[in-house]
Structure 1
Amino acid sequence: MSEPTFLVADDHPLFRAALVQVLREHFAHYRIVEAASAQTVGSAMQDHPEIELVLLDLAMPGARGFSSLLHLRGEYPEIPVVVISSNEHPRVIRRGQQFGAAGFIPKSAPAEEMASAIETVLEGGSWFPPMAAARSEADAALAAKLAQLTPQQFRVLLCIADGLLNKQIAHELGLAENTVKVHVTAILKKLECYSRTQAAVLVKSLEPESAA
């Protein structure tokens, strides 16, 4: 039987090391896999089907705000994701919740609080700091639209947001150009967008607010 595993996804080596230490002290029976970019998160999830919980930093290379969270929730809906972020803006916390996170742990939280939050999520619960931000119907609608996309369509959408043409997207994702065209048409329809630019603006809205 494979060992239960945590995925720690953060591009800051010092914080990642500190978090791994907390996990080893409180969850000794769990194995820990690390990732430092959106791309290595995807590889780790494919290589380690035994992953039971993802601890995810929002600001990693290859990620656009909440894109990694939405991508994980779409592709692995059964695996809880806990956002760990230095951005404690109330609306960032609320959006994390609305976009499917099982928890949100500020990086400033003490080790005991982090461990308690993770334990709560592992037991099937959720853990969020007290939030002053109200639920956003616009975010709820956006999350519902994005949830309609297949994992491949989500990848194509992120490429559109980067300004890539169909030919470039085909090369980037290893697809036929005609397949990309089909995906783009489906994406625009599902997101109720009239143009690629409009879809790119929608992705831009996934960027979290400044913590300031």
Structure 2
Amino acid sequence: MAEVSRVLIVDDHPLFREALHSAVNVACPGSEIREATSIADAVAMINATELAFDLVLLDLTIPGTEGFEGLLEVRARFPELPVVIVSSFEDTRIVQQALSYGAAGYVPKSSTKAEIASAITEVMAGAVHLPQCLGGARPALSGDACDDLLARLAALTPQQLRVLQMLRLGLLNKQIAHELDVCERTVKAHVSEILRKLGVYSRTQVVIETAKIDFEALSETLPPRFSP
């Protein structure tokens, strides 16, 4: 049975946080469990480096967020941290969307404690947990979608591609400016152009969009001018 040093439960309902506590203890006895009732609190806890969370259990309907905003923010800020969605929604389209945005698993709140514990164990072992309501493989980016993204990436200048790579690492404009030895205003202009050319509206969407594919593999297919 997989061991977890720290698990973060993000849910605003006390009774369900208690249920998730119980499931985590079944899957990973001895784990340290923390709780957050908002995305802001969750981000603050994860940012505290001494905590070093290994897993996040996240409800989609967190006050102050709409749709997949909470998942998108956590995935964009902490792309290496596994996030399992635990939600009352069982619509196949919602499940597929969550997985396409990088969730490591999706568990309906109607699941038994044993089923939730099993999902936690799977994810901590490096697998992706698919709920029974999905009944198929994890959604993958289609060939057409890959071609479309490649075309949009090809529209970026070499400097914009470098900025994009740093955005994917979570760097702020000031940090990017320091790395590239340019002023922060220049970085802001590059970011605006990246958003326009990729057809997205926020830095978070940039990270999520490019996280859907093997960015390194795609980079090898780009023209030589994109090499750092």
For residues 163-195 of structure 1, the C-alpha deviation after alignment (integer angstroms, 9 at most, x for no partner) is xxxxxxxxxxxxxxx969964x44442232799
**1:100 corresponds to which of 99, 102, 115:** 102
User: In the alignment, residue 125 of structure 1 is paired with which amino acid?
Assistant: A
Question: Superposed, which structure 2 residues align to 1:170-185 within 5 Å?
Answer: 183=188, 185=189
Tell me if 1:12 matches 2:13.
Answer: yes
For residues 22-61 of structure 1, the C-alpha deviation after alignment (integer angstroms, 9 at most, x for no partner) is 2223322210010000100111101254210011111112
Question: Superposed, which structure 2 residues align to 1:1-212 within 5 Å?
Answer: 4-47=5-48, 48-130=50-132, 131=134, 149=167, 151=170, 183=188, 185-192=189-196, 199=201
**Deviation, structure 1 residue 123:** 0.6
Partners of 1:132 and 1:50 lie apart in 2 by 33
Partners of 1:7 and 1:105 lie apart in 2 by 16
Judge conservation of contact 2:27–2:121 (CA < 8 Å) in 1.
no
Once the two structures are aligned, what percentage of the paired residues are identical? 33
Partners of 1:87 and 1:139 lie apart in 2 by 26
Give the greater-gyration-radius structure (CA): 2
Unpaired runs of at least 5, structure 1:
154-177, 207-212
Judge conservation of contact 1:98–1:139 (CA < 8 Å) in 2.
no
Residue of structure 1 in register with 2:218 after alignment:
none
Residues 65/29 of structure 1: CA separation in 2 closer, same or farther (3 Å cut): same
What is the aligned-residue RMSD (CA, Å)? Answer: 3.6
Residues 33/194 of structure 1: CA separation in 2 closer, same or farther (3 Å cut): closer
**Deviation, structure 1 residue 73:** 2.1
Structure-1-length-normalised TM-score: 0.66
**Deviation, structure 1 residue 65:** 1.9
User: In the alignment, residue 76 of structure 1 is paired with which amino acid?
Assistant: F
Partners of 1:139 and 1:67 lie apart in 2 by 22
Residues 187/25 of structure 1: CA separation in 2 closer, same or farther (3 Å cut): same
Residues 18/46 of structure 1: CA separation in 2 closer, same or farther (3 Å cut): same
Partners of 2:66 and 2:184 lie apart in 1 by 24
* 1:105 counterpart SS class: strand
Structure-2-length-normalised TM-score: 0.62
Judge conservation of contact 1:193–1:199 (CA < 8 Å) in 2.
no
Partners of 2:68 and 2:76 lie apart in 1 by 12
